[in-house]
Chains A and B, each alone.
Chain A
Amino acid sequence: MSTPNYTHRITVQASTEHLSEVRDFVASYATKHGVSSHEVEDIRLAVDEAYTNIIKHAYQYDDSRFVEIVMGSEKDEFWVSLKDNGKSFNPTEYPDPDVEERIKKKERGGVGVYLMKKLMDRIEYHKHDGTNEIRMIKKL
């Protein structure tokens, strides 16, 4: 016996201009579905990092492109997927950064994926028919 899980989806233009709107949208959905405020904050930041990576790496700041965000919750987990049709980037293969070394080299960035991994319980990457999907799962 299975009942369809309630999911929610939005499609947003790939621009940093929409970052706070995306964060608030995901946070308000998670809050409504009983996710604790501490966990909502983790999810908010992980989604910000994933969406920012798509803007930068998958679409290279082409704001005519779109990102689809789908999320849902089941009894003991909350999941959120971000889908794009840009350049592939598999965060699960991205090495953990040495922050001290990066600072010495005056390199910024490269820490967003690490944050996503720390904040969420599981990160998956799927590619199908030119669509990249990053799925992040938080156990509740």
Chain B
Amino acid sequence: MSYLAELKEKLENMFSPEKSYFPKEDTLSITLSNGNVRGALAYLRDTEGFRHFVMLSCVDWLEDNKFELVYIVWNPEKKVTVFVKTLIDREKAEFQSLHHMWRQVCTYEREIWEMYGINFVGHPRLEPFILEDWKGMPPMRRDFDTLHYVNEHYEWREGREESYKPRDYIGEVFDEWRKK
């Protein structure tokens, strides 16, 4: 049995994940309950040697009214990746901050707080990161209305209405220019 299959069994016995499968041969993906994430990550880091924290990502599942947090860790010795995932409620978007486990998690959490509006409890520095003076809905949420935002903040440029037919548009201008 390969290392990853063994690891899957161990994690299943310890943390009883909702779902675990292999997206590709050197990767394991497990979905845990909120309370088990920290324990699973600590186990992976300290016992199994997943010392390299790759990234923290967030996926908005608007249909299910959930946010999915994805912690990706990598084992430099065994050369395998594990996705530790957890679903949190979209209405009450809140999760514990794990910045003390890896320092760079701080930056990822700060971005997700800004872009998705997930509050990370215990985070030392939840302050604007990329956006400036942003008010209203966090922009990476899927129900953020981009067209409305553009109409509110920018002006449509004259002549761009027809831009879905660029060849015709260029043709007219070209004819006018030729007449001069």
Q: Do A and B come from one complex?
A: no
